[in-house]
């Protein structure tokens, strides 16, 4: 009996260590929002999700994978594309968001239309301008593939693909995309220090930007109108499309600023190519409207030197180990 208990204890310690190894909460981060108990991470499930992420099998004609619009070297967004192109070179209406620290996000997409990471992948899979398929078609193709039958067997001890398993595995891979090792983090952990310019930029950032781009994740989970005039062609009302509430007109989810160096162009429609354009918008370009964020009602005043300092600080949010991490790349 005693022996039995010891073996059990060892097993639990081992299992705990594996989960720890697959997902660690960085010491300067809060607890994640995602409920891991409903989808416990395993190496095989993450590998299956990672394989799916890079596989155009998710699209109707096997041409578009998640990676097309979410490349690792661009912090998992579509570099140099204001609006991404999907199946048959269709152009969407929004800039593809960078993917990182998704376990801390309460909702997904620029308008928060998706409330749970598991269900996020359904949107691009079925959007006619993105992958143009359906989850049913995807599951059917996966079940017909020997490679995937093996991967599903390894992950679930059952080779049959289902919608639930497919989505949960894609979510597992996305959950592992944690970026918390930028110079900023090293400064917070007292391993490095800011230059004088970065330090001044940090102070200016805290004063002018941090109420929405809140540390340490650099987003606050809210939807705000940041004073961009509506594009007359795209006519995108943002969050209002989801809630049908006028008070949400022109509001979009506050994005994280981590890895912003890699994730240009900026804003929900990618209208700004450079960080200097973004800062000039906040000081000189605010378009007044009823739903404008209260923080922007009063003009932000920055000298050009101060803007340079803020940009220098923003560059400390670049996490090279994240964008070049081989475990996030195409699985060999």
Binding site residues, other proteins, CB under 8 A? 35, 38-39, 113-119, 122-123, 125-127, 135-136, 139, 162-165, 167-168, 171, 241-244
Tokens of 245: 């509430």
CA proximity to 258, closest of 53, 81, 104, 36:
104
3-state secondary structure (DSSP) of residue 323: helix
Neighbours of 86 (CB within 10 A): 21
Quote the crossing angle between the two packed helices 163-175 and 146-156, to the nearest 10°: 70
**Burial profile 132-163: b = 16 or more Cβ within 10 angstroms, e = fewer:** bbebebbbebbeeeeebbebbeebbeebebee
- Tally DSSP H helices, then E strands, for the chain: 14, 2
Residues 6+ apart with CB under 8 A from 222: 212, 253, 254
List of E strands, the chain: 223-224, 252-253
Q: How far apart are CA 248 and CA 229, in angstroms?
A: 15
CA distances to 132, 229, 284, 301 from 280, in Å: 38, 14, 6, 10
CA distances to 176, 212, 326 from 19, in Å: 11, 32, 19
Q: How far apart are CA 208 and CA 101, in angstroms?
A: 23
Q: Which residues are 133's β-sheet partners?
A: none
74: left (phi over 0), alpha (psi -120 to 50) or beta: alpha
């Amino acid at each position: 009996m005693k022996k039995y208990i010891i073996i059990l204890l060892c097993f639990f310690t081992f299992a705990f260590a594996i989960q720890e190894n697959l997902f660690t909460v960085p010491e300067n981060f809060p607890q994640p929002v995602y409920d891991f108990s409903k989808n416990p991470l395993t190496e095989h499930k993450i590998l299956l999700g990672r394989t799916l992420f890079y596989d155009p099998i998710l699209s109707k004609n096997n041409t578009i994978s998640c990676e097309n619009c979410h490349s690792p070297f661009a912090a998992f967004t579509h570099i140099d594309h204001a609006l991404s192109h999907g199946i048959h070179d269709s152009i969407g209406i929004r800039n593809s968001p960078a993917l990182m620290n998704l376990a801390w996000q309460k909702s997904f997409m620029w308008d928060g239309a998706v409330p749970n990471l598991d269900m996020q992948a359904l949107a691009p899979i079925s959007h006619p301008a993105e992958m143009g398929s359906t989850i049913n078609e995807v599951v059917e193709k996966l079940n017909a593939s020997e490679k995937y039958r093996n991967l599903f067997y390894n992950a679930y001890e059952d080779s049959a693909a289902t919608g639930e398993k497919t989505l949960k595995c894609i979510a597992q891979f996305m959950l592992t995309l944690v970026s918390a090792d930028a110079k900023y983090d090293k400064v917070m952990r007292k391993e490095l220090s800011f230059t004088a310019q970065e330090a001044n930029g940090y102070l200016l950032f805290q004063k002018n930007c941090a109420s929405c781009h809140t540390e340490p994740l650099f987003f606050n989970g809210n939807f705000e109108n940041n004073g961009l005039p509506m594009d007359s062609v795209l006519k995108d009302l943002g969050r209002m499309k989801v809630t049908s509430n006028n008070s949400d007109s022109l509001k979009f989810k506050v994005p994280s600023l981590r890895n912003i160096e890699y994730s240009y162009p900026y804003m929900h429609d990618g209208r700004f190519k450079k960080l200097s354009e973004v800062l000039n918008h906040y000081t000189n370009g605010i378009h007044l409207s009823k739903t404008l964020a209260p923080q922007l009602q009063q003009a932000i005043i920055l000298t050009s030197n101060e803007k340079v300092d803020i940009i220098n600080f923003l560059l400390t949010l670049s996490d090279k180990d994240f964008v070049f991490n081989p475990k996030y790349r195409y699985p060999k």
